[in-house]
């Protein structure tokens, strides 16, 4: 059993210790991301949160007390600013309700864009 306040070592451990409704939301986000990343992509815990890695960090996600966040690295937020109008955003973060994930189509577009961006930097 993990002690409260201990950093998770795996993505599964992170998700298991996330309260509902955020846990279900993040599990959904994870499945959608997994459906579009290259098979060589890996999942890691970085800065205490789940991240997908492919030729560098791609995208991370996390649960907070009152919301969940997606962290598309690179220019993932800036590129989709228009489509993210309904969400609270900052340079590297998209916040959304704990019980309502980002739309699958938008999430897939962001992740595919980040994969393309990382390939170009390689």
**Which residues, in sequence order, are CB contacts of 49 under 8 Å at separation 6+?**
14, 60, 61, 62, 71
pTM given for the model: 0.92
24-55: b or e for each residue (b if 16 or more CB lie within 10 Å)?
A: ebbeebbebbeebbeeebebebeeebbbbbbe
The alpha-carbon radius of gyration of the chain (Å, integer) is 14
In a domain, 90, yes or no: yes
Q: Which domain holds residue 26?
A: 11-121
In a domain, 34, yes or no: yes
Q: Number of folded domains in the chain?
A: 1
Q: Identify the pLDDT of residue 7.
A: 81
Burial of residue 72 (CB within 10 Å: 0-12, 13-18, 19+) is buried
In a domain, 89, yes or no: yes
In a domain, 2, yes or no: no
In a domain, 1, yes or no: no
In a domain, 5, yes or no: no
Tens-binned pLDDT, residue by residue, of the chain (122 aa): 234 567 899 999 999 999 999 999 999 999 999 999 999 999 999 999 999 999 999 999 999 999 999 999 989 999 999 999 999 999 999 999 999 999 999 999 999 999 999 999 75
In a domain, 23, yes or no: yes
CATH number of the domain that residue 66 is part of: 3.90.1150.200
């Amino acid at each position: 059993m993990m002690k409260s306040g201990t950093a998770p070592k795996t993505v599964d451990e992170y998700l298991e210790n996330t309260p509902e409704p955020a846990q279900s939301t993040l599990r959904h986000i994870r499945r959608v991301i997994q459906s579009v990343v290259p098979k060589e992509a890996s999942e890691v815990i970085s800065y205490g949160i789940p991240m997908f890695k492919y030729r560098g960090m791609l995208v991370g996600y996390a649960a907070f007390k009152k919301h969940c966040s997606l962290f598309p690295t690179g220019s993932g937020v800036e590129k989709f600013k228009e489509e993210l109008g309904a969400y609270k955003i900052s340079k590297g973060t998209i916040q959304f309700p704990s019980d309502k994930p980002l739309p699958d189509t938008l999430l897939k577009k962001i992740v595919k864009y980040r994969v393309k961006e990382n390939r170009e930097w390689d």
